[in-house]
Amino acid sequence: MTKYITIICAKGGVGKTTTTINLASALLFFGRNVIAIDADLTAPNMSIHLGVPNLSCSIHDALDGKMPLSSCLYFHQSGLRIIPGNIAYESTKGINLNNFKTILRDLDNKAEIVLVDGAPGVSSESQTIIDAVDFVVPITTPDLAAISDARKTVRMAQEKQKKVLGVIVNRVRGEEQEIDIHNIEAFLDAPVIGIIPEESCVRTSYHLKGPIVYTHPDSDVAQAYKKIAARLVGEEYHFGLEQKKVPSFGREILAGFGIVKKE
C-alpha cells in the first residue's frame, strides 16, 4: 500500500523542496519505488531545482480536472520521478483545494512512498496537505523562529491525528548560537530523525539541476539524507558498507508507523 509523507513546516525557506528531492533520491538508493510531488501550490519550484521549468502539465492541471495526477509524472535523469507544480502566476488563481486528497489517491499502488513537498504557513493549503497524507515530517533550521513555526506544524498534525515520524533539522553549522538537538526535541515534543549539515555542495547541486545524492553522492549532506531514508524504511546505513536490516525492535516501531511490513 502506498504511504504518503509530507515534508513541511510553517516557516518558509527552511529547505522543504531540497529535502523532498534529496530524501526521495536517497530512498531510490535503497531500491524504493518513490514519487516526489511539489504541493507548494502558490510557489512551486521543484521543477526549477531540477532544471525543467517549462512543462506541459502539472499538479495544477490535475486539480483543475484536466487529467489524472499520474499523467503529470516526469523522470529526471537521476531516476527520480516527480510531479511538478506550474510556476506561472496565473496558476495561483482559483486553486481547487477540495480536489487535493482525491487526485492524490490516483497514485495509490503506483509507488511505495510518495513524498509531498508541503506549503509553508498554517493556511488552508498546508492544512489540506496534512489532512491528505498518512505521515508528517516537519523540517526546521536550528534557530528559534523556524523551530517556533515547526511547532505549529506539529500541532496541526496532532489536531488532524496524523503521525509525526520525526523532525529533520536542516542547515546545521555546529555554531554555538544554534539551538541544540535535545532542546529542539523537547520544544517540539518529537524526535529528530536527521541532521543535515550546511555545505556548499547544496548550492552547487542547485546549479547542476540535480539532487545532491546524485551530484555529490559522497558528501556529508548526501550521507545524511541516506541515513534518514534508511531510518524510514527500516534499514541501517553505513557509508561504504553493505546495508543491513535494523534490529527487530526497530522494525517493530517502523511497522507500527506502517512504513515497513512486520516480518
pLDDT of residue 252: 38
Above 50 in pLDDT, residue 259? no
pLDDT of residue 262: 37
Residues 6+ apart with CB under 8 A from 85: 38, 39, 40, 41, 44, 45, 46, 47, 58, 59, 60, 91
pLDDT of residue 240: 66
- Whole-Å CA distances, 191 to 139, 181, 195: 12, 9, 11
- b/e burial code for range 58-88 (CB count within 10 A of at least 16 → b): bbbbbbbeeeebeebbbebebebbbbbbbbe
Structural domain harbouring 149 = 3-257
pLDDT of residue 250: 36
For residues 160 and 89, what is the distance between their CA atoms, to the nearest angstrom?
31
- Whole-Å CA distances, 184 to 7, 124, 225: 17, 26, 19
Please indicate, yes or no, if residue 232 is contained in any of the structural domains: yes
Please indicate, yes or no, if residue 263 is contained in any of the structural domains: no
For residues 65 and 61, what is the distance between their CA atoms, to the nearest angstrom?
6
Please indicate, yes or no, if residue 262 is contained in any of the structural domains: no
pLDDT in tens, 193-243: 999 999 999 999 999 999 999 999 999 999 999 999 999 999 888 776 544
Please indicate, yes or no, if residue 178 is contained in any of the structural domains: yes
pLDDT of residue 91: 92
Give this prediction's pTM: 0.90
Please indicate, yes or no, if residue 73 is contained in any of the structural domains: yes
pLDDT band at 247 (very low <50, low <70, confident <90, very high): very low
pLDDT of residue 258: 41
Please indicate, yes or no, if residue 101 is contained in any of the structural domains: yes
**Number of independent structural domains in the chain:** 1
Report CA 256 to chain centroid distance, whole Å. Answer: 20
| CATH code of the domain covering residue 223 | 3.40.50.300
Above 70 in pLDDT, residue 146? yes
